[in-house]
Amino acid sequence: MSDKLRPIIEVKNFYGYYGEKAGLKDVSFNFASKKITAIIGPSGCGKSTLLRSINRMNDEIPGYHTEGDILYEGKNVYDSDVDLTIMRKKVGMVFQKPTPFPMSIYDNIAFGPRIHGLRNKNKLEEIVENSLKQASLWDEVKDELHKSAYSLSGGQQQRLCIARALAVDPEVILLDEPTSALDPIATQNIEVLLEELSENYTIIIVTHNLAQAVRISDYMLFMYRGELIESGETSMIVKQPENKLTEQYLNGKIG
């Protein structure tokens, strides 16, 4: 199987519980490597719960517990011997609202490599430049790297957060509604960027914006009330949904 076709993440009979309440119910899906997969569905359907379970961000929530497996490159991320720091280096996360650190643009990007032990100044400068270039931000900030990240616009801050995720050399980038707080032009810039990044990275994006999912994703998961209702190639689901609920959501009748 080619690198482009192999599943990099496999979700198998996965349940996610908030205390006694099931936020995810028996979800199974294989995420293809170096593709964009969009997770769609109405509010409260489990989209973000699934996304945040992949790199165990939900571990921070009191009472959250799981059943089933999520395999990253064949290993269950919930195994007791998993090093979360290393795993999250390979499976990065970008949140709904831009979350730059209260430090310079340069230090935002260098933060991750430094945490992982890199001290070489020349190497750090190279990583900062390359990451900002990959995030299509270098030309806008190259002369202002010492400035606070808060001086950037919302769209620039979100691209900075993507650059920060890229700086630690991930394989997978998880994005939770990354454009919901942005204007249309900034949103378009992020969409173009994600399509470019999918040449080298696996992109998994939660979005309420159905048109966005259709525009940029290769694969789509439609979720409803914690269950995975339908999944497959985006073009096929949009043209010919197999499930009545999917059809209703696509037509704006539920959600």
pLDDT for 1: 43
d(CA 80, CA 240): 42
CA distances from 96 to 29, 30, 251 (A): 23, 24, 25
pLDDT for 5: 59
123: in domain = no
Number of separate helices (H) and strands (E) present in the chain: 10, 10
149: helix, strand or coil: helix
103: in domain = no
CATH assignment of the domain containing 234 = 3.40.50.300
Give the Cβ contact number of residue 220 at 10 Å: 24
pLDDT for 2: 47
156: in domain = no
pLDDT for 136: 94
180: in domain = yes
Per-residue pLDDT of the chain (255 residues; tens, 9 = 90+): 444 556 899 999 999 999 999 999 999 999 999 999 999 999 999 999 999 999 999 999 999 999 999 999 999 999 999 999 999 999 999 999 999 999 999 999 999 999 999 999 999 999 999 999 999 999 999 999 999 999 999 999 999 999 999 999 999 999 999 999 899 999 999 999 999 999 999 999 999 999 999 999 999 999 999 999 999 999 999 999 999 999 999 999 887
50: in domain = yes
Contacts of 213 (CB under 8 A, 6+ apart): 38, 40, 205, 207, 220, 234
Tell me the CA end-to-end span of the chain in Å, nearest whole number.
37
Domain span at 79: 7-97+170-250
pLDDT for 141: 97
Work out how many domains the chain is built from and give that number.
1
93: in domain = yes
Residue 97, class by beta-carbon neighbours within 10 Å (0-12 exposed, 13-18 middle, 19+ buried)? middle
146: in domain = no
pLDDT for 6: 67
Both tokens assigned to 160 = 């900075």
138: in domain = no
Contacts of 220 (CB under 8 A, 6+ apart): 37, 38, 39, 40, 213, 231, 232, 233, 234, 237, 238
| 182 CA to centre of own chain | 17
231: helix, strand or coil: strand
